[in-house]
Amino acid sequence: MQNKTRRQFLNGAGLSTGVLLIPRWATGLSATKPSDKLTVACIGVGSQGTRVMLDLLRMSEVQVVAVCDVNQQSSDYLDWGNDELRKKVRLLLQQPGWGNSFAGPTAGRATAQSITNQFYAKEKSKPTYNGCSTYEDFRELLSKEKDLDAVVISTPDHWHALIAVTAMRAGKHVYSQKPMAHSVGEARWMAKVAKDTGRATQVSIFNSQTPESRRVIEVLRNGVIGRVTRVDIWTKRASAFWKQGLPTPTSGDPIPAGLNWNAWLGPAPGRPYNHVYLPFVWRLV
């Protein structure tokens, strides 16, 4: 594929979440030739990573070939609304009963692999499909997936830089969840590697592409309100979704089955597992 096409994908992916709701076999749109597809691996397939993966599956120019997560599967992830994640998977697969046996929002590498294989089986009108590989370690994924074009990173923040840099040095394009990195130093490191390798990159800040945001940009650039020297922003979003002011746990809990805690920590300082961190308060690290 042309680099332009890859960049178009990376730009478009930021707009996809929550927008593409209809499976492509229900639209009558022609499928992209297999040789023209962008092969993508999803690294980090918890609840947010799964949401992004669902949108990628709907893109005819994309083929999800692998998923990776340090958690095999669990049903304790976060929903954005009433049964939100399960409903999205049911809509994608056109299976009203999908996930009936799950105790709650379910994600992880086993779930992501199963969803992907079921989707492509339905798309290809085959009883089964086994083309999506699964990995616990992203380094193994990058070494084994020889025809991989790009990776989508939806891990906790402290892993973004290391995975992105490793992927770019392996010749892969990168689309990563925000924030770009865990520190300014990491962000500068990533930018340098992107420049050195010439890989297409994007951070998932899709709200900058909304009509409202573009209007604000237009107003500022045209000097409609004069020279702007200061911008103040108020938001309750952080406190509404992310718990604030929590102390770092000092005690440990039993590590859940299927979770590689040391791999989850990765470049973060070592500490005992505590249920507070997962699945959503990992910014305490």
- Within-domain flag for 260: no
CATH of the domain at 116: 3.40.50.720
Number of domains, the chain: 1
pLDDT of residue 36: 81
- Within-domain flag for 131: yes
Which amino acid would we find at residue 17?
Answer: T
Query: What CA–CA distance (Å, rounded) separates 194 from 176?
Result: 13
- Within-domain flag for 217: no
Give the residue numbers spanning the domain of 161: 3-206
Phi, then psi, of 203 in degrees rounded to 5: -100, 145
CB-CB contact of 6 with 173 (8 Å)? yes
Tell me the pTM: 0.84
Query: What CA–CA distance (Å, rounded) separates 46 from 49?
Result: 5
Q: What is the pLDDT of residues 216-268, one digit of tens each?
A: 889 999 999 999 998 888 877 666 677 777 888 889 999 999 999 999 999 99
- Within-domain flag for 125: yes
Q: What is the pLDDT of residues 188-227, one digit of tens each?
A: 999 999 999 999 999 987 677 788 888 988 999 999 999 9
Where do we find the tokens 């083929």? 63
- Within-domain flag for 25: yes
- Within-domain flag for 102: yes
- Within-domain flag for 261: no
- Within-domain flag for 232: no
